[in-house]
Amino acid sequence: MQGLQNGASMYAVDPRRTSSAKFADLWLGLELGSDVALANTVANYIVSNDLHNKEFIAHSTTGFDAYVESLSEYTLEHGEALTGVPAAAIAEMATAYATAEKAQILWTLGITEHHNAVDNVLSLCNLALLTGHVGRWGSGLVPLRGQNNVQGGGDMGALPNKLPGFQNITDPEHRGKFEKVYGKEIPAEDGIHLTLMFEAMERGEITAAYVIGENPADSEADIAHARKLLKGLDLLVVQDIFLTRTAELADVVLPASVGWAECDGTVTSSERRVQRVRAAVPPPGLARHDQDILRDLAHLLDYPEWGDPTPEDLWEELRSLSPLHGGMTYDRLEAEGGLQWPCPDLDHPGSPFLHGWLWEPDLGGRAGAPFSPVVAQGPKEQRTEEFPLWMTTGRSLDSYNTGVQSGQMNSPIRYGNALDMNPADAAQLNLVDGETVKVSSPRGSVEMPIRVQPDIPVGLTFTTFHFPELVDINQLTNDAWDKRSGTAEFKAASIRVEKLVTA
C-alpha cells in the first residue's frame, strides 16, 4: 500500500472484487480458472505491439519462437471471450506491465489451487521473461506464502524429493554428504507427496501415517473420501497442539507445543528471510517440543547417534550441510533482523532477489531461462444444468485455514461460514441475505447461510473453509489435482443452491 502511495500502479486480477481490487488502478474480474487464457492474451498483445524486451529475450531466454507461435490464437478478441475481461482492460494492463521500469507479479492460491496449477504459474513466468521483469531490483515473480514457515519447510527438506537446501535425494553426492553426518544410509529414491499418499492409502500401499501439525481430516478437498482413507489406516499417529479432527481419528496423539511462542528455532518467510522464533511461555500440561518428541522417538528406534541437540545445534548442522544457509548464524539472524537465502558464507549479506545471473553480460555457458508454452484449459469441472453456479473457496482477514488457531480469537469482524452470492443470483433463487440454503456439488451437500454480496460477480459464489465444524465445505470441493504439484482444485467447483423446504 505504501508503494501505491508512492505512485505505483496496481492491477488486480481476481474473479472476486476483493479489498485489494478496490485499491487497484483496474480490476480484471476474470472467469474462474481462465488464468492461462488471460496471461497468454497479455503476452500476445505485448509481442504484437512490439513491447517485449528483445535484448533480454535474445540474451537470457530460450524457446521464444515456439512460445510466440503458441500464442497465436490468443488475440484480444478471443482473450475477451475466454476470460470475460474487456479487451481494452487486457490491453491496458499488458501495456502498463510491459512498459514499466520495474514490475512484479504477485500471486497466491488462486493460481496454484487448480488442476492445471503448474500451467498457471508457467504462464506468469513467461510474462516475466517476455518483459525482463525478473532477476533485478524491484521486478520479479512473487508467490506469497500462506504460512510463516511453508517456505522454511521446503528449504529444510520437507519435500519428497529433496534434502535440506534443495539438494536432490537421488544425487549420490548430495546424499553422501548427509549420510556422513547422520551416520545412516538414506533411501535413494524420491518419496511421494501428500496427494499421492492418499492415493497410496486407497490402494492399500500405505497403512500407517504420522501426521505432524496438519489437519487433513478438515483441509483436504473431497473431505468425506479423505476421512474414509484416514480411518482405514492400521496406525495413525498425530502430533499437534490441539485435538483436531485428524487427531480424533488417531490411534496415538502426541501433544506438541506452539512453535513460535513456546519453542526456539527459525522460520522462513515468503521472501526467503530466515528469522528467529523464541520461547516466551512454557508449554502446558504434557505438551512437549516437537524436537524432543522426535529425539525420543529416534532413541526408541535405536538411533542413539541423534543425541540431545539444542535448536541451535540442529541449526549449526544445517549450516554445515546446506550451502544456501552457510552464512546464517543465530547471532547474525538476531543482529540483522533475519537474512534472505542464498547466504553461503559469513561475509555474504543475503540475497533480496534470485535469478540475477540472467542479467550478467556472460551467462557462463548456462542456457537461458526457458519459455514454457501452455494451453488454456479452464476448470476440470464445468457448470451444468444440474450444477449451474461456480463456487470458489478462500480466506477471510481474521481467520486462518481450518480455524484451529484463529477460532480461539473472538473477532468482532467475523461473519462466519456464509456463502457469498451476487444479489441477482439470490433474487433469481428467491433467497434473502442470511437465509440458510442447501448447497450441493457432484460430491456432496451441506446447509449454510448465504450472504448477499455485490462484489461477487453473477454466476459465482464464494466461501471460506475456516469453519469446518459449522459447514463441512470440503465435502463440495473438487479433488481433481495437478499431477506435477499435487495440489487439488479447491478454487473451482460447480454447485447448485436450493431453498430449504419449510415444513
Partner 1 sequence: MTIAETTTENPDETPIETSVTLTINGSPVTVDQGQTVLDACTSAGIDTPTLCYAENLTPVNACRVCVVEQEGSRTLVPSCSRKAEDGMEIQTDSPRVRHSRKMVLEFLGSGVDMSQAYQVHRWMDEYGADPGRYGPEAARIREDVKVQDDLYIRDYDKCILCYKCVEACGDDAQMTFAISASGRGFDARISTEFDVTLPDSACVYCGNCVGVCPTGAIQFKTEFDMRQADNWKPEEQTVTQTVCSYCGVGCNLELHVQDEKIVKVTSPADHSVTHGHLCIKGRFGWTYVQPTIERR
What residues line the site for partner 1 (CB under 8 A)? 1, 5, 23, 53, 55-56, 59-60, 101, 132, 136-138, 144-148, 150-151, 241-243, 255, 258-262, 267, 269-271, 273, 275-282, 284-285, 287, 337-338, 352, 356, 359, 361, 397-400, 404-413
Return the number of the residue (408 or 502) whose C-beta is nearest partner 1.
408
38 closest CA partner among 110, 99, 87: 87
Return the number of the residue (41 or 151) whose C-beta is nearest partner 1.
151
Shortest distance, CB of residue 110 to partner 1, whole angstroms?
A: 15
Distance CA 389, CA 373 (A): 31
CB 230 within 8 Å of CB 208: no
| Amino acid letter for position 393 | T
Return the number of the residue (22 or 499) whose C-beta is nearest partner 1.
22
Shortest distance, CB of residue 207 to partner 1, whole angstroms?
A: 27
Distance CA 409, CA 397 (A): 13
Distance CA 389, CA 426 (A): 11
Return the number of the residue (212 or 480) whose C-beta is nearest partner 1.
212
Shortest distance, CB of residue 369 to partner 1, whole angstroms?
A: 14
Shortest distance, CB of residue 454 to partner 1, whole angstroms?
A: 17
Shortest distance, CB of residue 226 to partner 1, whole angstroms?
A: 23
| Amino acid letter for position 198 | F
Return the number of the residue (5 or 502) whose C-beta is nearest partner 1.
5
Return the number of the residue (243 or 427) whose C-beta is nearest partner 1.
243
Shortest distance, CB of residue 338 to partner 1, whole angstroms?
A: 7
Shortest distance, CB of residue 413 to partner 1, whole angstroms?
A: 6
Shortest distance, CB of residue 284 to partner 1, whole angstroms?
A: 6
Distance CA 201, CA 178 (A): 30
Instruction: Quote the strand ranges of 206-248, DSSP E.
Output: 208-212, 235-240
Shortest distance, CB of residue 139 to partner 1, whole angstroms?
A: 8
Distance CA 39, CA 37 (A): 6
348 dihedral zone (left: phi>0; alpha: psi -120 to 50; beta): beta
Q: What is the 3-state secondary structure (H, E, C) of 182-205?
A: HCCCCCCCCCCCHHHHHHHHHCCC
Return the number of the residue (260 or 307) whose C-beta is nearest partner 1.
260
Reduce the DSSP state of residue 152 to 3 states and report it: helix
Reduce the DSSP state of residue 211 to 3 states and report it: strand
| Amino acid letter for position 345 | D
143 closest CA partner among 130, 154, 132: 154
- One-character DSSP codes across 332-353: HHHHTT-EESP--STT----SS
Reduce the DSSP state of residue 407 to 3 states and report it: helix
Q: Is the dihedral of CA 195, 175, 308, 335 positive or negative?
A: negative
Quickly count: other Cβ atoms within 10 Å of residue 439's Cβ: 24
Shortest distance, CB of residue 39 to partner 1, whole angstroms?
A: 21
Return the number of the residue (144 or 208) whose C-beta is nearest partner 1.
144
Return the number of the residue (251 or 498) whose C-beta is nearest partner 1.
251
Return the number of the residue (32 or 134) whose C-beta is nearest partner 1.
134
C-alpha 451: how far from its chain's center?
A: 27
Distance CA 52, CA 129 (A): 9
